[in-house]
Amino acid sequence: MSKDIKTLFDKHKGYLTKNQIPDRKTYAQILKMVESGKIERLKRGVYSLQNKMSDVMIDVDKIVPNGVLCMFSAWFHYQITTQIPQSFNIAIEKNRKVVTPDYPPITLYYWKKNYQELGVVSQNINGYMVNIYDLEKSVCDAVKFRNKIGIETTAEIIRNYLVHKERNFIKLMHYAKIMRIEKTMKSYIEIQL
């Protein structure tokens, strides 16, 4: 790999979009490296260094623009579940069409706009600025989707949230009301207390 291409990837934290490639000559070199396996094409117009894919986090916005890390990925990040996510869980607006790469594994969740935009924060995770749901919205997601993830997982998340040092009950109940799970949330909290 040429020093210029390595520098270009380093400048963009191991990922390049077609718009970030300065000229056709460099683009042709990158395509040759994709064929030889030195660079991975994540999806049309998005490229990554092979060794960069072993990181724990990905640049979510480059792979799924306006996507938000959610569900098991968010719960694991906040350390409120012991389950290790099998894929990057990313929420997008319900009617969007997104093509995801074969690698890394990504599970998309299609949510209504008002739920998809609720509680989004930007955090630096392993050197990437990633959109992720805040702690309280993540807990509300567990309760909202309790039948899909299982009652035991939901109970574990609530139990760990209750002892979390950064919890905010007012915000939690505000989100629960917006998401129409306020009564269910109160029941889960009462059982755990």
pLDDT in tens, 109-143: 999 999 999 999 999 887 778 999 999 999 999 99
Indicate whether this model's pTM tops 0.75.
Answer: no
pLDDT tens, 32-55?
888 887 787 776 777 877 554 444
| Residues 81 and 174 placed together within one structural domain of the fold | yes
| Residues 50 and 139 placed together within one structural domain of the fold | no
Domain that holds residue 157: 60-192
**DSSP, res 132:** E
* C-alpha–C-alpha distance, residues 161 and 164, integer Å: 5
| Residues 39 and 90 placed together within one structural domain of the fold | no
- Report the helix count and the strand count for the chain, using DSSP H and E: 10, 8
Residue 94, Cα to own-chain centre: how many angstroms?
16
* C-alpha–C-alpha distance, residues 154 and 157, integer Å: 5
